[in-house]
Amino acid sequence: MKVAFIGLGNMGGGMAANLVKAGHSVNACDLSADALTRARDKGCAVFTSVREAMDGVEAVVSMLPNGQIVASVFENDIFGHAPAGAILLDCSTIDVGTARSVTAAAAAAGYDMVDAPVSGGIAAANGGTLTFMVGGTDTAFARAERILACMGKAVIHAGASGAGQAAKICNNMLLGASMIATCETFVMAEKLGLDLQTFYDISSQASGQNWSMTSYCPVPGVGPTTPADNDYQGGFATALMLKDLTLAMEAANLVGADVPMGMRAAELYENFVSAGKGGLDFSAIIQSLKN
C-alpha cells in the first residue's frame, strides 16, 4: 500500500521506517531537512510539501507535536488533497475535542479517520512495539488496524472518535500520579531507615505494588534497569508527561471530573519543568521530593 507519513520526529521516524520494513511504499514529509534525510536512508520517498506527499496514497499517518498543528495540517493540506477514499490516522497525542472536530471535518470531506495515540516511547517506535489506542467507527478501525499493526504490538479499539485520546490521557494521568506516589514512598522509606532494596522486595510483593515501582523504579540500583540507572537520561521526558497531564486537566474540566491526584501531579510536574528539568525522564521527579 502507498502511505503518506507526516511528522518524522523522535517517534515518527521509526514508525515510518517500520511501514517500509512491512513492505509499504512511504511518502514521508517533515519540515526538518535532517528528518527527511534520515527517512530517505530508511527507504522512504521524501517531500517537503504535505500536499505533494498525498499523490496516489491510500492512507495518511501523522505523528505531530500538538492539536493545533494537527488541525492545521489536516484542514489545509490533507482534506481535498488526499485521494478520495484514503484512510486517515492521527497518532499524535492531542486533546479530545480537537481529535473529534478534525475527524468530523474528515467525514464531511469524505474520509474515514481515526485518532490512534500510542503508548511506548522512542525505543518502542523504533522497534515496532507500540501500543495503539484507537478512536473511530468500526469501519475506520478495521481499515486502520492492519496499518497500525506494522508499527506496534497491540492495536485496541477504545471506542468512538476521540476515545483513543481519552484512553491515552487517562492512562498517563494515572501513570503520573502513581510515579509521584512511588517516589515519595521511597524517599520516606529511606528517611525511616529502611534499606531501599529490602523495601522494594517487600512492597513489590505486597499491596503497594504498581508499574512505576516494578517496571520503572525511580531509585537507582533498585528493581529492574531503568532510566534512574542512567542519571534519568532517555525514557519518557518530563516535558512530555507535563504535556499529557495538561491535556488530562483540560479534559477533566470539560467533563467536570474531580481529579485531585491528577491535579496535584500536574502541579508537581509543572514545578519540576519550570526548574529546568523537562529533558529528564519523568521518574527524575524523585529529586524534587528529597529535600
What is the C-alpha to C-alpha distance for residues 255 and 223, in angstroms, rounded to an integer? 38
Phi, psi of 88 (to 5 degrees): -110, 130
Cα 287 to chain center, whole Å? 24
Candidates 7-15, 213-221, 269-277, 283-291: pick the segment binding ligand NAD (CB under 6 A). 7-15
Instruction: Tell me which stretch binds ligand NAD (CB under 6 A): 29-37, 38-46, 157-165, 181-189.
Output: 29-37
Sole window of 3-11, 204-212, 221-229, 250-258 interacting with ligand NAD (rule: CB under 6 A): 3-11
- Among residues 9 and 97, whose Cβ is nearest to ligand NAD? 9
Cβ nearer to ligand NAD, comparing 71 with 150: 71
Q: Which is nearer to ligand NAD, 73 or 102 (CB)?
A: 73
Q: Which of 44, 36, 37, 35 is nearest to 17 (CA)?
A: 44
Nearest to 264 by CA among 289, 290, 233: 289
Q: Interface residues for ligand NAD in 39-58 (CB under 6 A)?
A: 50
Which residue shows C-alpha cell 509499504? 24
- Answer yes or no whether residue 35 interacts with ligand NAD by CB under 6 A: yes
Question: Minimal distance in Å, beta carbon 172 to ligand NAD?
Answer: 9
Rg (CA), the chain: 20
Report which DSSP code applies to 235. Answer: S
Q: Does residue 169 touch ligand NAD according to CB under 6 A?
A: no
Of residues 49 and 225, the one with the C-beta less far from ligand NAD = 49
* Torsions phi, psi for 281 (to 5 deg): -60, 150
Determine the size of the site formed for ligand NAD (CB under 6 A): 26
List the catalytic residue out of 168, 191, 277, 290.
Answer: 168
Between strands 130-135 and 118-119, the pairing is antiparallel
Burial of 215 (0-12, 13-18, 19+ CB in 10 A): exposed
Q: Is 168 one of the catalytic residues?
A: yes
Among 3, 4, 5, 7, binds ligand NAD (CB under 6 A): 7
Collect all residues with Cβ–Cβ distance below 8 Å to 254 and sequence separation of at least 6.
Answer: 96, 97
Among positions 22, 122, 160, 289, the unique one binding ligand NAD when judged by CB under 6 A: 122
Q: Least distance (Å) from ligand NAD to the CB of residue 265?
A: 17
Contact between 12 and ligand NAD (CB under 6 A)? yes
Query: Binding of ligand NAD at residue 74 (CB under 6 A)?
Result: no
Question: Does 173 help bind ligand NAD (rule: CB under 6 A)?
Answer: no
Alpha helices (H) along 230-274: 238-255, 260-272
HEC per residue, 52-72? HHCCCCCEEEECCCCHHHHHH
Chain residues 221-240 in contact with ligand NAD, contact rule CB under 6 A: 236, 240
Residues that bind ligand NAD (CB under 6 A): 6-12, 29-32, 35, 50, 63-65, 69, 73, 92-93, 118, 121-122, 236, 240, 243
Annotated active-site positions, please? Answer: 168
